Structures are given as C-alpha cells and as structure tokens.
Structure 1
C-alpha cells in the first residue's frame, strides 16, 4: 500500500499515513489512475450529500470548487505556469525560466479562468447523472501523465519527471492502462473506450507542441496536461450524451 499512499499524497490532499517510504515513489505510477478514481468517488459523495440539492449552475461550481480543493490546485498551478511560458512567445530557455517563476502572469490567469469556466459549464449542463464524468475524467486525466512520461522526453535536468520515468516500467504502465480502461468501460460500456483513445490523441498533440517549443515535458506541462485532459473528457462525455441520450 505504500506506493498507493505515495501517489495519493502527491496527486491529492487526502490524508495518508505519515510514514510513507520514499522508495515507493517510482512504483507509485501504477496507482495514478486509482488516485483519480478516489477523487471521483469523493466528488460523487459530495454531490449526493450537498451539491445535488442546488440548481445546476450552482451545483457545477460547487463540484468544481471541491475538485480543485482535493488536488490543492496542483495541476491548475502547472497550467498557469505553462500558459505564462508558452504565451510569452520567447525562446526555449526564456520560456522555461518564465514557467519556473512563482509569479502568475496574465496568460496564466486567463488560461485558468477559461478552463474553470469550461469545466463548470459542462457540469452545469449535465443531461444525466454526473457519476460517469466524475469518475472517468479524474481517472483518465492522471493516466495521461503516464503516457507523457513513458513515451516523450523530459526537458529539465532535474525534477519529478526523472524519478517517475525510471520507475514507470512497461508492466506498471500496462497495469495503469487496464485500470483506466476498466473504469471507462464500466462507466459507459463500449463507448467508454473513446475516453482513453481521446486522451492518448491529446497527449500526442501536446507532445508535438511542447517538444517543438521547449524540447520536452516539464512538471508544469504534466499538470497542464491533466487539466486539459479532464476538460476534454468532460466535453467528450457531454457530446456522447447529446448524440446518444
């Protein structure tokens, strides 16, 4: 369980046993989708106890607020840093410097606002019970990081990506993929396969843009990828509900 607790403590703000073994860090990648699944169950519980009793617009905002709170804004921070760097229209080295700056610029604020508004709007437009997107989006979102770690270069000479890359073996990626596929198919049957496939396409497109611009992924870009994948999963789910209610 140590590797699972390491993944949960890194990706969420859920309390875990204090004595987690650092050696579980490389092995924790297997449990990234599980951490997303835990977030999803927590959101469903909050929706049943609180959010579901409010009008749809308020419900969407409440769910999104808890969603961000459960992660401590970790991935949202990466999104803002990435938007600041890529929005600066500077060279690779200067872009990396801007991304590392703790201060948030206009592009970061605008990117965060747009993404939060988009997620809240999708949740508020729910034509069906929300348990499907609340389970699938966080799970697939954290699985998408593993694809980027495994198949695409890491740009910085130090950072979280190096240790994770070494620990993400083929069997661990396969296990995480099976978990993700299982959640998606259990939620929507055959249509559920569209979610991992859609996420993989987004990872590939993101990698092309990132490698061309700065030469590889960074921790901030991983965070931005999670946020972008979650939003894409919500939009895909909403589209499926519209074409096949």
Structure 2
C-alpha cells in the first residue's frame, strides 16, 4: 500500500518521489485506499503557502499564490478533465457524440468558461479561506471523486486512463477514504462546520456523478477531474457560508 501511495503521488502530482517508482497495477489499486491521504499531502503544502502569505495586505494575493501553487503541485491534471467534460456534457449532444467532443484535443467555449470559472473561484475563495479550509480542500476534493466513482462503471467501451481507477473503487476503498477525511475533521477546530461542509459536498458530488451517468452511462477520467475541481470550490463556498 505504501508503494501504491507513492505511485499515486507520482501520477497525480508533481511532487518528486524518486525515479525508481514504476507503475504497478496491483500496488496502484491498493494505494487508492490512501487517495484522500494524498490530498492531505497537497493540503499540507498549501497550508504552508497560506501561512506565508496570510498577512499580506494586498487583497487576493494570497488566493493567487495558493491557486498557482495548487496548479503547480498537481500539474493541472484535473483542469484538463474539467474542460473536456464541460465541452461534452454542456454541448447538448447525446451518447457517442459527447465522447467525441470530450476527446477532441481542441478546447471549446464551455471548456474555456469552465477553466475561467474554476481559476477565478479558487483565487477568490482561497483569499478568504483559513488554513484549515485550505488543508481540507484537496482532501475533500479527492474524497468526492471516490464517492462519485463508487458503484459506477467506466463509461467508454475502450479502456482509458480512468478505467482502472473507477473500476477499483469498492466498499473498502470508500470506507477507508471516508475514515481518513473524518479523522482530519475531528482534529481541527470548527468540527461541526467542516463535517457539514464535507457531507454536503459529497452529496453534491454523488448527485453530479449520477447526472453524468445518465448522460454517458458512467464515469471517465475526465469526469473525475471535473467533479474533483467542482467539489473543491463547492466545499470552500459552503465553509464560507457556514462561517459567515
């Protein structure tokens, strides 16, 4: 499982974990139980950035630096899926035509709009977020993907990058990731606020995955990216609303 965790870090982030970490399907599947913990590693790095820029008096600078840092740490891997999913799902087309649009290397108008909304939302929300929210954002985002993929099948007939991920989310993976996130919620202040925000975000993420399933028959790697980025924004908005 430890090897699987390092594979996750090497695959889903730009955090250097050594050149000797080669992809191993069995270890990768075992590592999915620690997917939310990988979010905690990202959250810890963001928390450090938050503390550095927390007292800067230029409005939105902290949010800008956190957004840049997050994109740098993750390599923007999920932003690509967000754009592709937006182009396909919001195109008004059905079935196979949606997959064709999502697979098109050219970004469409809905993809551009989704990226603008995600990036600007992160800048603004990060600017108002405290260090605990900053830490929990990537944890909740990755847990949302686990919940959204649970009980779903891979939508495409051909195998893709997300096939192994989606088809490996079983009850054990779900429970371990839920317990991991719960542990972090319990050790932070504002436990009830964070618990409500996490639960609400997970419910919305699962609802989105069901709507996506209605459209294309399941989940893909791109739709996982879309749900992750969207869920993180929803989580921070709920936190600010509850604290406001």
Does TM, scored on the shorter chain, surpass 0.5? yes
Q: Is the 8 A contact 1:82 1:220 kept in 2?
A: yes
Which digits, 9 at most, give the CA deviation of each residue in 1:117-176, with x for residues without a partner? 1121122234xxx21111111001001111122222220231233322443342232111
Q: Which moved more, 1:218-227 or 1:41-50?
A: 41-50
Q: Contact 1:80 / 1:111 at 8 angstroms: preserved in 2?
A: yes
Count of aligned pairs between the two proteins: 239
Partner of 2:180: 179
Gaps of 5+ in 2: none
Q: Is the counterpart of residue 162 in structure 1 residue 169 in structure 2?
A: no
CA distance in 2 between counterparts of 1:42 and 1:95 reads 36
**In the TM superposition, what whole-angstrom CA distance separates every residue of 1:95-123 from its partner, at most 9, and x where no partner exists?**
11110112211110111101211121122
Higher mean C-alpha deviation, range 133-142 or range 18-27: 18-27
Q: Distance in 2 between matches of 1:189 and 1:200?
A: 16
How large is the Cα RMSD of the aligned pairs? Answer: 1.7
2:44 matched to 1:41? yes
Q: CA deviation at 1:71?
A: 0.7
Alignment check: 8 A CA contact 2:152 2:166 kept: no
Indicate the larger mover: 156-165 or 27-36. 156-165
Structure 2 length normalisation: TM-score?
0.91
Partner of 2:61: 58
Counterpart CA distance in 2 for 1:164 and 1:116 is 26
Give me the whole-angstrom Cα distance separating, in 2, the residues matched to 1:29 and 1:208.
21
1:29 Cα deviation from its structure 2 partner: 0.8
The 1-side partners of 2:186 and 2:152 are apart by 27
Which of these residues, 109, 119, 128, is aligned with residue 125 of structure 1? 128
For 2:230, which of 225, 228, 233 is the aligned residue?
A: 228
Bigger helix share: 1
Shift of 1:66: 0.8
C-alpha separation in 2, matches of 1:118 and 1:213: 26
Gaps of 5+ in 1: none
Match of 2:114? Answer: 111
How much has 1:51 moved relative to structure 2? 5.9
Residue pairs, 1:1-245, within 5 angstroms: 1-21=2-22, 22=24, 23-50=26-53, 52-126=55-129, 130-157=130-157, 158-187=159-188, 188-242=190-244
Higher mean C-alpha deviation, range 193-202 or range 25-34: 193-202
Worse overlay, 209-218 or 224-233? 209-218
Instruction: Give the distance between the partners of 2:80 and 2:57, measured in 1 at CA.
Output: 29
Say if 1:177 and 1:183 are closer, same or farther in 2 by CA, change over 3 A. same
